[in-house]
Amino acid sequence: KAKGRNRAHCYSVSDAASDKLRNSLQWAQQLREAIVNDQIVMHFQPIMCVRTGAIAYYEALVRLNLNGNIVYPGEFIQALEQVEDINLLDHQVIGKTIEMMSRHAVLKKVAINLSAQAFRDERLVPWIEQTLLKYQVEPSRVVFELTETASLNNIAGTCAMFNQLNRLGCEFSIDDFGTGFSTFSYIKQLPASSIKIDGSFVKNMHQDTMDFVLVKAMAEIAHALGRKSVAEFVENEQILTLLQQLGVDYAQGYHISKPMPIELLEKTF
């Protein structure tokens, strides 16, 4: 465009880059088909209050059910981010999850993941507000999770989005904390109610002193700033006991429960 209108320019793209792009475009197409065929499925994983042992809320995790083959987000989230189709997925996930919250009493409070590009989507906050109204779901029942790296890429944009969501009455949590370039000034600015310590530090904290010390420090930062602390990848009882000793507020992981479809969740909790 900078060179003037009505011009064609030939780019030479490396093979790896073009493979990546092709893969992304295939997922973008797959996503559209999945929307039409109602193949987007939400699974839910409980998050437990460490002090009482009660389930405090559930995290909604997206899957594609392609004719019985369950496809996990690790396979398609990055691909969709590359072609900017991730906002479409976010809107679908929000619509589905909030609709389910209006029908299933077990889903008292739910955490919904937002993609790294969410703050660039002007239609996101109005979509959330509209959906909550449509299904008569109290905004305080929804927590939005955004990864630390995504927040850091655009602190001003993220702050603006989360202030808007806070005004609606929703909460906000910083996901995968410790994997980005944690700066103290940014945590101070972001209106988050909780900080989710990344699972990579948690899953070995019972046998790795460094990990233990890092989890302890992150929990202390959260508390000093008046935020709740959440630990993911709690895979055994030893970890849960350590978290209890450290005063971590919430725990999530296979030791407590795997993510599951709503039918199983209703039978289990």
Task: Give alpha helix (H) positions in the chain.
Answer: 15-36, 73-82, 86-103, 124-134, 148-153, 155-168, 184-189, 199-202, 209-224, 237-246, 262-268
Q: What are phi and psi of 78, to 5 degrees?
A: -60, -40
State the number of CA atoms in the 13 A half-sphere of 89 facing the CB. 33
State the number of CA atoms in the 13 A half-sphere of 231 facing the CB. 35
Candidates 112-120, 149-157, 179-187, 222-230: pick the segment binding ligand C2E (CB under 6 A): 112-120
Instruction: Say how far apart CA 174 and CA 197 lie, in whole Å.
Output: 9
Among 74, 185, 188, 209, binds ligand C2E (CB under 6 A): 74
CB of 175 to Mg ion, least distance (A): 4
State the number of CA atoms in the 13 A half-sphere of 79 facing the CB. 19
Instruction: Say how far apart CA 103 and CA 87 lie, in whole Å.
Output: 25
Among 124, 233, 246, 265, binds ligand C2E (CB under 6 A): 233
CB of 86 to ligand C2E, least distance (A): 6
229 near ligand C2E, rule: CB under 6 A: no
- When the beta carbons of 112 and 187 are compared against ligand C2E, the nearer one is 112
**x/- letters, 126..155, toward Mg ion (CB under 5 A):** -------------------x----------
260 near ligand C2E, rule: CB under 6 A: no
Instruction: Say how far apart CA 127 and CA 142 lie, in whole Å.
Output: 14
Among 235, 261, 264, 266, binds ligand C2E (CB under 6 A): 235
Contact positions toward ligand C2E, by CB under 6 A?
Answer: 45, 61-62, 72-74, 77, 90, 93, 113-115, 145, 175-176, 199, 232-235, 252-254, 259
Contact positions toward Mg ion, by CB under 5 A?
Answer: 113, 145, 175-176, 196, 232
